[in-house]
Structure 1
Amino acid sequence: MTKSERNSGEDWSDDDVAQLKKLAAENTPTRVIGLKLGRTEDAVYAKASELGISLKPTNQSPYG
């Protein structure tokens, strides 16, 4: 499996940040967020941390 490098090294646009916030609020896994935004998981973690966005899953029952 290859990593998407589409936006690697580029600045985050306002649309990227808005989508990051939306996906994080929907409990989307970090890996999926990275794929949707064309960023690495590390880049997603770094930007979320910079913006104070939690990527921890919330309200998830272990029983589905």
Structure 2
Amino acid sequence: MAKKSSKKAATKKIRRRPWTNEEYKKLKAHSKARTPVAKIAKEFKRTPGALRQQALKLNIGLGHQR
């Protein structure tokens, strides 16, 4: 019988950065300007999901604005 390897897949460490007041102001400005979420995500170095969650928290529109 062959022995099974007990190695686990390497998981990426989750690092959560708190949001600053400056980031909130920029997010509101991007919302008004209707900037695409992907472009904002690159600028903020955050995921699109994180941006959408904060926009929801702030009660501002972000993303699918038709």
Does the alignment reach a TM-score above 0.5? yes
Higher relative contact order (CA 8 A, sep 6+): 1
- 5+ long unaligned stretches in structure 1: 1-7, 59-64
Percent sequence identity over aligned pairs? 25
Mark the structure with the bigger radius of gyration: 2
RMSD: 1.3
In structure 2, the gaps of 5 or more residues are 1-14
Number of aligned residues: 51
Structure 1 position 57, deviation (Å): 3.1
* Residue in structure 2 matched with residue 3 of structure 1 by the alignment: none
Task: Choose from 33, 44, 48 the match for 2:55.
Answer: 48
Compute the TM-score of the two structures, normalised by the length of structure 1.
Answer: 0.72
TM-score normalised per structure 2:
0.70
TM-superposed deviation, 1:17:
0.4
Alignment of structure 1 residues 1-64 onto 2, 5 Å = 9-55=16-62, 56-57=64-65
**Structure 2 residue identity aligned to 1:36:** E
